[in-house]
């Protein structure tokens, strides 16, 4: 690997998680030039965050699935791909020119093909009190553990999904017992999920791991509340307690740390910016970019590998990255059809567990239909009621709601509210969410510092869209 | 309460938060170092001036915005601590292009 000296590459890869790293290895193996643009300071993505610096003890706590990232990162470091850490992509034009912010400066890169490997984000979980300090996503606590070895000793986990119990079990191994797990999975889901069990047995190792985690939590005496509803986080300026109903009783658990999780969804910012077509995935309950069997989007030479193409997990992410890489090589006349087929077969095996997980851990009805007074847009402090009112006043979709209310116009640019806003509009209008669509995403993908903008202006003209929506980030 | 699960040999760095001296480990983001010191409130919102703290720790939510060495709107979860950094809570609005 060498330092960045040039700005034209056969392939630019955005993100250095399992998909991005695998794609980089494949295309460089085929002799193509590649650069990997990563927001983080080191390879791994969120799933293998801190993989190069995690010591034996911490790696043991995080388990073998995490440790598997070591070899992947090593293979990537050994490849001929250039790696640019601390690089935030903030614009991509239709000719595949990429603008990257490097903290103090900006860089322009011209790519022949792009692999978007920006992975997933946690599904927005609007509920009363979710903006209080002390409330985080469950993934945030896992990042703290992976990258920093920082833990909280009185966490109440709230929500559903395999990640929730995984993170709770990891905290337990790290020596801090979670205060409780408050699960939002309705009883009826277990029955509905049953029909997917036979297929899931094809991926029995996942089922066994899940059961082992729950067992370890129960053995340690972590209280698990099931089918919880009416969840609220209370506190004056900080999280102080979680209240909910479970088993016909109301409960109040005091805590300073609440971790929310309702599954993960594709991070759509880059594919939306590029105007790739997206579709509603009913089973995963989120928008996914339309891709062909090689993960190429509706825009030629733009691929989306990893969870960004629909949630498939870390193993699938790596396989998808390889497949996209092999396809790019093939298009450049350096194909390996046999290897491509074996990757496709492995991907099919990996997919077996998904229908069961998706049915059992579909998002809880409460976060899909938050109460009127619940904040949905955290940045601009817009409530579900405000959005419903805007719809009643005639706003037909997310972009009109955005101009009425400024929701999605704050610094997070809709990442934290987009899905919830589309959902609320769809149900208020009684239309399918596939028709309602999603925010239009414009550059810059992340707010730029004035210094970066100044550096840019002196170099070249400010992109049109930037001038056009130059709303100040307050 | 947040705390360090383990002692590693990572060298310590000094920085300040609201003028208060704090320690970080090399490689820590500002958000991680502040949370390890059990600091939860990073900013107040521009609209209603309500306190907020980091939510996602992966650069998505922007609830961790702080002022670093006089520059506002920095994501505490994306910036690594450097020796002598002066970090302040961001209160309300600060001008920047979004
Ligand atoms: S905590 Fe979400 S952006 Fe920093």
- What's the pLDDT tens digit per position in A369-385? 999 999 999 999 999 99
The pLDDT of residue A2: 42
Does A114 share its domain with A163? Answer: no
Residue written as token pair 């706590």 = A61
Question: pLDDT, tens digit, for every residue of A46-69?
Answer: 999 999 999 999 999 999 999 999
Closest CA to A149 of B16, B27, B15: B27
The pLDDT of residue A191: 84
Does A129 share its domain with A253? Answer: yes
In the predicted structure, residue A467 carries a pLDDT above the cut 50: no
Does A201 share its domain with A236? Answer: yes
- DSSP per-residue codes, B75-91: ETTTSB--TT-EEEEEE
Domains of chain B: 27-91 (3.10.20.440)
Task: Give the confidence band of A470 by pLDDT, cuts at 50, 70, 90.
Answer: very low
CATH of the domain at A391: 1.10.10.1100
For A112, half-sphere exposure in the C-beta direction (CA atoms, 13 angstrom radius) is 13
Does A137 share its domain with A215? Answer: yes
The pLDDT of residue A209: 87
CA dihedral B9, A146, A138, B88 (to 10 degrees): 50
| Residue ranges lining ligand 1, Cβ < 6 Å | B 31, 54-57, 59-64, 75, 77
Q: Is residue A206 part of a domain?
A: yes
How high is the mean pLDDT of chain A? 92
Residue written as token pair 């990442």 = A415
Q: Is residue A3 part of a domain?
A: no
Does A127 share its domain with A161? Answer: yes
CATH of the domain at A39: 3.50.50.60
Question: pLDDT, tens digit, for every residue of A83-123?
Answer: 999 999 999 999 999 999 987 778 999 999 999 999 999 99
Contact A1, A85 (CB under 8 A): no
Does A129 share its domain with A245? Answer: yes
Distance B63 CA to ligand 1 centre (A): 5
Does A409 share its domain with A305? Answer: no
Q: Is residue A204 part of a domain?
A: yes
Does the beta carbon of B89 lie under 8 angstroms from any beta carbon of chain A? no
Q: Is residue A446 part of a domain?
A: no
Q: Is the ipTM of this complex over 0.90?
A: yes
Question: What percentage of chain B carries pLDDT values higher than 70?
Answer: 94
> How many angstroms separate the Cα of A366 from the Cα of each of A127, A143, A185?
8, 26, 11
Q: Is residue A309 part of a domain?
A: yes
Does A231 share its domain with A259? Answer: yes
Q: Is residue A344 part of a domain?
A: no
Q: Is residue A148 part of a domain?
A: yes
Q: Is residue A450 part of a domain?
A: no
Does A21 share its domain with A140? Answer: no
Mean pLDDT score, A227-240: 96
Is the previous residue joined to A444 through a cis bond, with omega within 30 degrees of 0?
yes
Mention every residue, 6+ apart, whose C-beta is less than 8 A from residue A71. none
Does A153 share its domain with A259? Answer: yes
In the predicted structure, residue A394 carries a pLDDT above the cut 90: yes
State the total domains in chain A.
Answer: 3
Q: Which residues of chain B have pLDDT under 50?
A: 95-98
Mutate to test the interface with B, among A469, A470, A473 (most CBs of B within 10 A): A473
Does A186 share its domain with A159? Answer: yes
How far off is chain B from A469, nearest CA to CA, in Å?
8
Can you give the residue range of the structural domain that contains A171? 123-263+357-362
Interface list for B 41-70 with A (CB within 8 A): 41-42, 45-48, 50-63, 65
The pLDDT of residue A295: 98
The pLDDT of residue A176: 94
Does A274 share its domain with A252? Answer: no
């Amino acid at each position: 690997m060498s330092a960045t000296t040039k700005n034209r590459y056969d392939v630019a890869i955005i993100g250095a998680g399992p998909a991005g790293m695998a794609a980089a290895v494949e295309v460089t193996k085929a002799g193509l030039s590649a650069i990997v643009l990563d927001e983080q300071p080191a390879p791994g993505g969120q799933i293998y965050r801190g993989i190069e610096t995690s010591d034996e003890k911490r790696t043991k706590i995080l388990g073998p699935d995490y440790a598997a990232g070591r070899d992947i990162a090593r293979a990537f470091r050994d490849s001929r791909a250039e790696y640019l850490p601390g690089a935030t992509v903030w614009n991509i034009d239709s000719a595949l020119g990429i603008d990257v912010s490097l903290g103090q400066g900006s860089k322009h890169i011209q790519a022949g093909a792009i692999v978007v490997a920006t992975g997933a984000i946690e599904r927005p979980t609007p509920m009363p009190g979710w903006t209080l300090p002390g409330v985080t996503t469950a993934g945030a606590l896992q990042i703290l553990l992976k990258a920093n070895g920082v833990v909280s000793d009185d966490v109440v986990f709230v929500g559903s999904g395999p990640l929730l119990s995984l993170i709770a079990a990891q905290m337990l191994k790290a020596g801090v017992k979670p205060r409780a797990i408050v699960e939002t999975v309705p009883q009826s889901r277990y029955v509905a999920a049953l029909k997917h069990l036979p297929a899931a047995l094809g991926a029995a190792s996942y089922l066994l791991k899940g059961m082992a985690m729950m067992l370890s939590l129960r053995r340690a005496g972590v209280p698990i509340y099931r089918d919880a509803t009416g969840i609220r986080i209370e506190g004056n300026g900080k999280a102080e307690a979680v209240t909910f109903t479970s088993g016909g009783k109301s409960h109040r658990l005091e805590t300073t740390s609440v971790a929310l999780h309702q599954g993960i969804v594709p991070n759509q910012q880059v594919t939306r910016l590029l105007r790739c077509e997206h579709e509603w995935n009913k089973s995963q309950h989120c928008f996914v970019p339309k891709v062909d069997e090689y993960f190429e989007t509706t825009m030629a030479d733009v691929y989306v590998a990893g969870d960004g193409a629909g949630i498939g997990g870390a193993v699938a992410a790596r396989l998808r990255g390889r497949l996209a890489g092999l396809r790019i090589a093939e298009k450049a006349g350096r194909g390996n059809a046999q290897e491509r087929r074996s990757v496709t077969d492995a991907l099919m095996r990996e997919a077996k567990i998904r229908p069961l997980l998706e049915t059992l851990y579909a998002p809880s009805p409460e976060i899909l239909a938050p109460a009127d007074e619940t904040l949905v847009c955290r940045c601009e402090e817009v409530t579900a009621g405000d959005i419903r009112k805007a719809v009643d006043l005639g706003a037909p979709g997310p972009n009109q709601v955005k101009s009425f209310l400024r929701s999605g116009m704050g610094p997070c640019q809709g990442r934290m509210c987009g899905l919830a806003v589309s959902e609320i509009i769809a149900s208020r209008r009684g239309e399918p969410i596939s028709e309602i669509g999603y925010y239009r995403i414009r550059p810059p993908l992340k707010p730029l510092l004035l210094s970066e903008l100044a550096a840019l202006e002196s170099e070249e003209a400010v992109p049109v869209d930037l001038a056009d929506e130059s709303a100040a980030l307050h | 309460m947040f705390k360090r699960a383990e002692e590693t040999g990572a060298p310590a760095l000094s920085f300040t938060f609201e003028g208060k001296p704090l320690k970080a480990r090399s490689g820590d983001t500002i958000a991680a170092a502040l949370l390890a010191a059990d600091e939860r409130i990073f900013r107040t919102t521009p609209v209603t001036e309500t306190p907020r703290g980091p939510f996602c720790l992966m650069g998505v939510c922007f609830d961790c915005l702080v002022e670093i060495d006089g520059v506002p709107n920095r994501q505490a979860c994306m910036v690594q601590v450097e020796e002598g950094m002066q970090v302040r809570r961001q209160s309300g609005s600060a001008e920047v292009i979004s």
